[in-house]
């Protein structure tokens, strides 16, 4: 499948953004944007969790894009504490939608810091109708902007996450599960740490199961 994955550059607010892109042969395929972990801690779009997520979408016949935020890899600009990165994600989604204007669903996904940006993007873009947040850090970032959370989605975390105490995830779960009309699935992977370093197969299984369940409706 790799031979169909293109290296592309997307015009972004701080210059060009380096990205990888797979286009489904089906015009009405769903689309997904996958966002990287924190640039200042070595995060890139080639992070293993990001790549695994990207390939799970590819295997489910999505048109999917993963992108390096400003200042990462060959992307222009420099780190902007989340504000600029949100603008980069919006530019990447604009590009993906232009390339796939007949899409049947619009998904956004992110890992760690990328899950924060994904959720912020979700609040601003009503066309996003599913999300996947992997290892969010509600102990570091304030997720109270998700009130109400506009769409259903999946939050995956490791029970042995060394960066996020479990009670913060449970509190987020309580807040989101009290909302009517949307369903946010919280999936714990028992042996996993923040980076799913020895649990990537379990992570992929959870992602694949959720994607298949939610695309079967369309």
Total domain count, the chain: 1
- pTM higher than 0.85 for the full model? yes
pLDDT score of 180:
87
pLDDT tens, per residue, the chain with 218 residues? 455 999 999 999 999 999 999 999 999 999 999 999 999 999 999 999 999 999 999 999 999 999 999 999 999 999 999 999 999 999 999 999 999 999 999 999 999 999 999 999 999 999 999 999 999 999 999 999 998 899 999 999 999 999 999 999 999 999 999 888 999 999 999 999 999 999 999 999 999 999 999 999 76
Containing domain of residue 140, as a range? Answer: 2-215
pLDDT score of 3:
58
Closest CA to 185 of 158, 152, 212, 214: 152
CATH number of the domain within which 182 lies = 3.40.50.1820
pLDDT score of 109:
98
Q: Secondary structure of the chain in the HEC alphabet?
A: CHHHCEEEEEEECCEEEEEEEECCCCCCCCEEEEECCCHHHCCCCCCHHHHHHHHHHHHCCCEEEEECCCCCCCCCCCCCCCHHHHHHHHHHHHHHHHHCCCCCCEEEEEECHHHHHHHHHHHHCCCCCEEEEECCCCCCCCCCCCCCCCCCEEEEEECCCCCCCHHHHHHHHHHHHCCCCCCEEEEEECCCCCCCCCCHHHHHHHHHHHHHHHHCCC
């Amino acid at each position: 499948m790799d031979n169909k994955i293109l290296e592309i550059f997307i015009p972004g607010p701080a210059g060009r953004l380096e990205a990888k892109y797979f286009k489904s042969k089906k015009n009405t395929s769903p689309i997904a944007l996958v966002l990287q972990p924190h640039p200042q801690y070595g995060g890139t779009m080639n992070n293993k969790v990001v790549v695994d997520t990207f390939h799970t979408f590819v295997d489910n016949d999505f048109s999917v894009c993963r992108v390096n935020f400003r200042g990462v890899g060959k992307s222009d600009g420099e780190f902007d504490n989340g504000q600029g990165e949100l603008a980069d994600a919006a530019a990447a989604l604009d590009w993906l939608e232009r390339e796939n204007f007949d899409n049947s669903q619009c998904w956004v996904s992110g890992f760690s810091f990328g899950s924060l940006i994904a959720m912020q993007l979700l609040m601003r873009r009503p066309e996003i109708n599913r999300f996947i947040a992997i290892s969010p850090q509600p102990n570091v970032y304030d997720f109270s902007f998700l009130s109400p959370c506009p769409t259903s989605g999946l939050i995956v975390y490791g029970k042995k996450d060394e960066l996020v105490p479990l009670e913060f995830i449970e509190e987020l779960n309580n807040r989101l599960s009290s909302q009517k009309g949307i369903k946010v699935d919280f999936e714990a992977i028992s042996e996993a740490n923040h980076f799913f370093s020895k649990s990537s197969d379990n992570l992929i299984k959870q992602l694949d199961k959720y994607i298949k369940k939610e695309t079967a409706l369309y």
